[in-house]
Structure 1
């Protein structure tokens, strides 16, 4: 009994010496909710990353490398944050990881099917000028005039909005336009490789609404491989 009292006295003296104060209950509550909020946010971003990755892999429109990396990052963050919650001890680590992966793939697929992924891709492109360099569109997209996309090399120029290009399949196209928007460092000179967004008028005539440079990460490699 005396030994217990001595231990208690020593503990009290240590608390007084170090001026240790009890942590308020609200701090525990805030910390717990912060962890759960971080976990749910990471899980949501994982779903969005997976959705855009599905968009790139299935629709074959973009190269989704960046979004795959984003998915892996938020998969890891989701796992680590869940492990810090009070409920984590009830589950094996592999079970937690498996469930997070399953939810990410499933909900990412659902978001992709509802068109969320394509809207994210277009939104990122309109808000961030560097986005398309990091997530380039595949060459097959830029060689699809029926859908409004065309690319090639300028071979003849009549005016700023009237010229001829040769696409990467060797076909010549007459390009017209009513003051098309020129983006990036496009040089309207013979030999310049460009991308066009517009409307197919006939078998060899295309109305350009937007002119972009043929550059960006991976574009040259895609041209050589001819997707």
Structure 2
């Protein structure tokens, strides 16, 4: 799936698929020690401003930071900021919540908007994504650089493979990532599925002596339970 610059609502996958792929990345990088940290990087399930209290977060600790909140009735809000965006420097200022219903406004923090830490807001309602109108000459809202790796199943698999430096040279590695994303999207990730995937990560890492950004570790039963709950959360 191609994401335009600036993004268009139809560029994004259905909200439940976006959530599933995001949760898959959060699950494969889950770390009990990281859960205790206030300042995070990568992918994780954390707080939201709304009543539900939970959202998926992504922060590459460099130039891109995003939040996906699920709301009642299959609704969702995606907001964030990527350094590629031209929204924050556009004059006159763009009202990113123009046309947004009240429930969206409750999820997007005013202080972050005013600080320029949110330059992109999309909301999912009645089966489709929406956003505020943009000026015709706005060149980028950051959606492409920020969310393209979650725009399709293949891209999500590539993102997981990149974390562990997997490619088809390493027998079974890419296929394991493909199967895990498939289970995440279908909602069929059981503890057995998660255990098999986690063990495969460790096997490939040890067999090929890789040094990826994320080092696979042997998982305890408590780890597997937490990872399964995360990837199955809807």
Higher helix share: 1
Q: What TM-score do the two structures reach when normalised by structure 2?
A: 0.29
When Rg is computed on C-alpha atoms for both structures, the one with the higher figure is 1
Structure with the bigger RCO (C-alpha within 8 Å, sep 6+) is: 2
* TM-score (normalizing by structure 1): 0.30
